[in-house]
Amino acid sequence: LTGNNNDFYTYNGGASIFNPIILNGTQYSTFSSFKTASGQTNSLNVDPLFASLSTPDFHLQSSSSLINS
């Protein structure tokens, strides 16, 4: 896996959930353990705050923590 500025977020009706990630045959049940093992220390697991999911409009709202992260 390459890259170090990703957002691993799963939308579930408004609730943030973390689906286990499998990397090189190893399953990581927490986002923290995945970040440590993969070296993706700048990656996040947050709601991106898209302008609209129903439209769809994937521009980020001004309050999104992904802006400048």
Per-residue pLDDT reduced to its tens digit, 11-57: 766 555 667 888 889 998 888 898 899 888 898 988 899 999 889 99
Dihedral pair phi/psi, residue 37, rounded to 5°: -70, -35
Cα-Cα-Cα-Cα torsion 38, 44, 47, 53, nearest 10 degrees, comes to -60
Structure confidence at residue 15 (pLDDT) = 56
How does DSSP classify residue 57?
E
Span between the terminal Cα atoms of the chain, in Å: 19
Q: Between 10 and 43, whose confidence is greater? A: 43
Report field, pTM of the whole predicted structure over 0.75: no
